[in-house]
Amino acid sequence: MIPNIKIINERVDDIPLLIRQMEEMGIEELVDEQFETHGNWEGASLGRVIKVWFSHILSEGDHRLSYVEQWVKDRQMTLATSLGEEVRAIEYSDDRLADVLRLLSDNDKWSEFERCLTGRLVRVYDLKPQQVRLDATTVSGHWQVTENGLFQYGHSKDHRPDLPQLKVMMATLDNLGLPAATLVVDGSRADDPLYQPAIEAVRDSLDQQGLLYVGDSKMAALSLRYFIEAGHDYYLCHTAPTTIADNCATRLSGSRLAG
C-alpha cells in the first residue's frame, strides 16, 4: 500500500540568498545588541524578526506591514530551512511590526547601530574608501501632517508641493554606492544643515581621514568647507557666483582685520 504523501509547494525566490547576505552582515546580532525589547516580548528576537521582514521587503518590493504575516505563512518551510529554526507567522503580524518600528525610531540607538554596521561592512569587503558622495532627496505621499511629525510640507524635489514629505540625506561610498550614513528628517527642513551631521556620521563610522566629499552647490558654504578641511578631508562641489563673491568679501575683511 502506497503511503499518503503530503506535498508542499512554496516559492523560494531569492529568500535564502537574502537571509545569507544579512547573516554575513551581522544584522540580527547588531540589532539585538543595540535595541532593547520590552520585558513582555516573546518568541523570535527583534533581530530575527527584522531579518525576516527585510527579506520580505527586498524580495517583494513591498514595505506594507499587513502583508508580511501571510507571506511568512506561505513560506514557512523555506524560511525555517534558511534560518535553521521554526518560524511562526503570528510573530510577524502588523501589530508586532509596528512595535519594531517604534523600537527602531530611537535616533541615538539607530546612529550607533548604523555606525557599527558600516564599520563591519568596510572590514568585510575591505573597500578602502576614498570618496563619499552626499545628496539629499524627498519622498512624498498621501500622509497625515501632524505637529512636529516627520511628514511636512516643503520644497518638493519630485514636483508635488501638494503632498507632505520626508527628507533623506544619504552619504554613499564610491564606486560601490554603499550607504555610509543616512539621515531622515521632516520634509520642511532645508538641505544645507544636513551636510555636516552626515559627514560627522561618516567620520564616526569609518574613522578615516583624507576622504574626498562630493556634493552639489549647497555644500559650498564656507563654514562647511572649513569644517571638512579641519577634519583633514577634501571636498569637491560646484561653487555658485554668489558664494565666490562672499568668499572674496570674507578674505578682504580678514585682510583688513589682519592689517
| CATH code for the domain of 149 | 3.90.350.10
At residue 158, does pLDDT exceed 50? Answer: yes
Q: What is the pLDDT of residue 252?
A: 37
Neighbours of 1 (CB within 10 A): 3
The answer to whether residue 225 is domain-embedded is: yes
Distances (CA, A) of 163 to 42, 142, 148, 149, 194: 39, 6, 16, 14, 22
Residue 169 above 90 pLDDT? Answer: yes
Q: How many domains does the chain have?
A: 2
Give the pLDDT mean for 66-91: 93
- Read off the C-alpha cell for 125: 569587503
89 and 176: one domain?
no
Give the whole-number percent of the chain exceeding pLDDT 90: 56
Q: Report if residue 70 sits inside a domain.
A: yes
Q: How confident is the model at residue 256 (pLDDT cuts 50, 70, 90)?
A: very low
Q: What is the pTM of this model?
A: 0.64
- 112 belongs to a structural domain: no
DSSP string across 122-157: HHHHT----EEEEEEEEEE-S----TT-S-B----T
Per-residue pLDDT for 104 more than 70? yes
Out of 89, 104, 119, a domain closes at 104
Domain that holds residue 239: 129-258
Question: Span 114-127, mean pLDDT?
Answer: 78
* Residue 192 covered by a domain: yes
Q: What is the mean pLDDT of residues 96-120?
A: 89
**pLDDT of 2:** 67
Whole-angstrom distance, CA of residue 215 vs CA of residue 200: 15
Classify residue 237: in a domain, yes or no: yes
